[in-house]
A and B are shown apart, each in its own frame.
Chain A
């Protein structure tokens, strides 16, 4: 195969440029906001470092925006730490020695708590816009997301299969559990599933 036919997009010092950009993100949160609002120019100048007269407009996906809003929130991070500690304590408790994983840690509970926390500490505007058409007359918004439509919970359950399966086949140690619960990939999947399903509930014309 000729080198030009290879499926490669070879850059120069790609990681260095990315790391420099992320350093700016860390130092100045407003830089992140301007990136998220309009990443095209930012990427062209800072990462690709090329003149791009016909650069294709680029976007940051809604799930990434939502995940960013969640992760930027210290209260959510604190909630994750507390929830992990709670789960670790539960696993260590001798009273649970002979119980099955499903009894100690029902998947529905993990899903519900994560969704509630992501809702509670994420960008409410993003999520509220999605759920606006769902009947939430006798529920809080987060309850609506969690309980009002089975599809949402089912989708997130799918995303969390990775988490629960991983716990299933590993020893019950706090180390494994904490790694499992905070896997970057798992949270990403959770965020994506959540946004996608809630979008689909709204329908194309909503």
Chain B
């Protein structure tokens, strides 16, 4: 068992994310995991089971299956969900609903997933996804999951010119499905669709790009050191962020090791910079680096925090500036962690 000192913030439980495969039925531009039909990397069922066992031993809070498109590995997925559920974990699946090509198919798949123990399903759609999976699949999938009383979250890509909008989808769902089911089980989230290249500026609705006028609203990263990912190629990372696969610093272990999750936690929580990402956040670190080095330009470039993070890790000038000045941040970082711990305790004591 991991020593209790590897937990912080009132022992908030971690999440294990399992990418059964990197393969996907879609090939979206700027896919955050670089998945595609051609990437055949996948892990075997035994590795997924081992990860779940380790997560149980380490007191993780929940299991998420994502990808790639996890449903491509249907047998492994269903078996893994059953196993995770047998260990007492809440289980969530992220999918593009490619399998919902008819009402009957959608319903059969959802019933099997629900019977295996799935607690929540998340669907992804938007300008990129609909090039490969029609919106009608999404509606059928939502209808099936809500009819089966499965908590359902739709995540929509947010672009300046979004072809799929929250209002449009909500209107259609309201027309198709009982309002009580919608109220109890359904939620829509819009998330900026970001280029994985930090030099490219995405097109978003106004107000989303970060600059000095809105940087105060940026918070610490809730992914790093919180979600640990068993990737389709067997690497373990301490973050589930977009583009994570291309950042060597976020790769903390490998499934070839015996206790890979514990190893990953120990390695990542001893990295002061990941603590800074968690408690200060990538946007503010980038803005801080720009104060130290006027050559660093960041304003009005990023709407999604993962793109700011990629910039930090991939831009030579930003990296060297951070390396030079990081010690100046340590005192405030330590105090930030302490204050967040106090806030979490206040919240927990309610």
Contacts and interface: CB of A to CB of B under 8 A. Distances in A.
Interface of A: 1, 6-16, 18-19, 21-22, 25, 32, 35-36, 39-40, 42-43, 47-48, 55-56, 58-61, 64, 67-68, 71, 77, 80-81, 84, 155, 158-159, 161-162, 169-171, 178-179, 182-189, 192-193, 196
Nearest to B325: A56
A158 B218 CA distance: 10
B295 interface: no
A48 B334 CA distance: 11
Given A15-B269, A169-B188, A43 B334 contact: yes
A97 B309 CA distance: 42
Contacts, number: 146
Contacts of A56: 327-328
B74 interface: no
B331 A59 contact: yes
Nearest to B222: A185
Interface residues on B, range: 35 or more
A58 B216 contact: no
Contacts of B339: 64, 67-68, 71, 184, 188
B131 interface: no
Interface stretch (B105-113, B227-235, B342-350): B342-350
B6 A185 contact: no
5 contacts: A7-B322, A47-B334, A58-B329, A58-B331, A171-B184
A145 B330 CA distance: 31
Contact of A21 (B184, B275, B334, B342): B334
B3 to A, nearest CB: 7
B340 A6 contact: no
Nearest to B184: A171
Contacts of B6: 15
Contacts of A6: 248-249
Contact of B337 (A12, A16, A18, A77): A18
A43 B331 contact: yes
B132 interface: no
A16 B216 contact: no
B139 interface: no
